[in-house]
Chains A and B, each alone.
Chain A
Amino acid sequence: MNDQATTVLAIGTKKGLWLATSRNRRSWTLSDPLFLMQEVPGVGIDTRGGRTRILVGTRSEHWGPSVVHSDDLGATWTEPERGSIGFDSDDGAALERIWQIQPDSEGRPGVVWAGCEPISVWKSTDGGEHFELNRGLWDHPHRSEWGAGYGGAAAHTVLPSPADDSIHVAMSTGGVYRSVDGGTSWEPRNRGISAYFLPDPQPEFGQCVHKIARDAGNPRHLYAQNHHGVYATPDAGDTWTSIAEGLPSDFGFVMLSHPRRPGTAWVIPLKADGERIPPDGELAVHRTDDGGGSWSRLHRGLPTREYNAVLRDAAAVDAADPVGVYFGTRGGSVYASADEGESFVEVASHLPDVLTVRAAVVAD
């Protein structure tokens, strides 16, 4: 990695946003808190087109949710007066929370996706300043049967494919849905994923998927961390098979994939359902380099005892070489690895519950 580049790490918490910066991804400078008393469940860093735009989904208990953005690494922020995301009055719904802000690929400049609560997907074509509701998913006949997990009913992951017009959305609870026509129509894609908490453990939809990630080498290859169950699909979700063997637990919230190397992904297992802590209180990241065939336990630099969970969006990778891996806990600790998870340093501690992290190498 170029030592002269700066990496910015955005840390969204239950009570504000922090920005950490580093030249070497080992020593970090942490900003003062931003948006204090506002929950920050969704952050996106869009580095396309030579501009770094940090998009932040905020939510005030009093004043509601909003999307703000900064084009100067957090020095100033802009909030569109009429709001970036909002239902029409005849939709009969109000935006509750922005769970995901996902810039599309280089080939679709300006396109940014958002996954929200209530379960909805939104698309912006102006870099995240204004979003349109995806009507195909909003009007889906399954809508009335989708449920709410503990955190709320949300489309929490939106994965547009860089290769074609397909998009995968993961919702809790509802499972994985796929569009092959840019979002016009959607079909559930959960065959092989168990929903042990339902009377029919193999339903067409209704699974509690916690996070999905797309493989770098084959856009039709995806990984999923479920509410129990770690899976991979070779065919864009038509069939899923377990890749949990070798992990200490098949429960967790996180799923990350390498931005370039096929077959590499990371999970952070938790023991569940009765405990929801790292197995035996020993925090570790697990990485596969063969598409889930085997896993390596990575913990150098992490605390020997940790009793906090890592939430679904509180982990991210950057695009540097070697790839940086980042995550934060509900106990407010944030860790960074500059070597693909082999070792970690603590970026911050004693923050509020970490809800989301995003990292990017930015131009000086």
Chain B
Amino acid sequence: MDSVSVLIPTLLRPLVEGRSEVVLPADAPMTVGGLLDRLSEGRPLLERRIRDETGALRRYVNIYVGGEDVRRLELLDTPVEPGDTVMVIQSVAGG
């Protein structure tokens, strides 16, 4: 497969035309950071929701690659292979 599927949480779907899944072309390995760059092209509001101005993943946003939390891997340097499924999920936060 030459694509990566990104699953979008409900609260962010208005920023991706209401979709629950965005399929991005991926004909070569990339990083989670690179994937987010592509996902956010033309969607600056989505970028701000997921990463802050320093480029860091927001504290209570979780990203899973192949079911693994990138915070237990290499964070935004975690490799993404063509065919992978990447999940963006808001973590448990807020009272």
A residues sitting closer than 8 Å to B (CB atoms) are 14-15, 37, 61-64, 66, 79, 81-83, 86-89, 91-95
**4 closest residue pairs by CB, A with B:** A94-B52, A63-B49, A61-B93, A62-B90
* A66 contact set on B, CB distance < 8 A: 48
B residues sitting closer than 8 Å to A (CB atoms) are 11-12, 44-45, 48-50, 52-56, 58, 60-61, 90-91, 93-95
Q: A64 to B48, Cβ gap below 8 A?
A: yes
Q: B91 to A62, Cβ gap below 8 A?
A: yes
* B90 contact set on A, CB distance < 8 A: 62-63
* B93 contact set on A, CB distance < 8 A: 61-62
A86/B53 contact (C-beta < 8 A), A62-B91, A63-B11, A64-B58 known? yes
Main secondary structure, interface of B, reads loop
Q: A94 to B53, Cβ gap below 8 A?
A: yes
A91/B53 contact (C-beta < 8 A), A81-B45, A82-B44 known? yes
Q: B94 to A61, Cβ gap below 8 A?
A: yes
Main secondary structure, interface of A, reads loop
Q: How many A-B Cβ pairs are below 8 Å?
A: 54
Of A61, A81, A93, the contact of B53 (CB 8 Å cutoff): A93
Q: For B60, give the chain A residue with the smallest CB separation.
A: A62
Q: A62 to B58, Cβ gap below 8 A?
A: yes
Q: B55 to A89, Cβ gap below 8 A?
A: yes
Q: A89 to B94, Cβ gap below 8 A?
A: no
* B52 contact set on A, CB distance < 8 A: 64, 94-95
* A61 contact set on B, CB distance < 8 A: 60, 93-94
* Closest CB in chain A relative to B66 CB, distance in Å: 23
The contact sample of 11 A-B pairs, CB cut-off 8 A, is A15-B95, A37-B94, A62-B11, A62-B90, A66-B48, A83-B44, A86-B53, A87-B53, A89-B53, A94-B56, A95-B53
* Closest CB in chain B relative to A18 CB, distance in Å: 18
A88/B53 contact (C-beta < 8 A), A61-B60, A79-B45, A83-B48 known? yes
Q: A92 to B11, Cβ gap below 8 A?
A: no
Q: In the bound complex, how far is the Cα of B94 from the Cα of A78, in angstroms?
A: 24
Q: In the bound complex, how far is the Cα of B44 from the Cα of A63, in angstroms?
A: 13
Q: A89 to B61, Cβ gap below 8 A?
A: no
* A63 contact set on B, CB distance < 8 A: 11-12, 48-50, 58, 61, 90
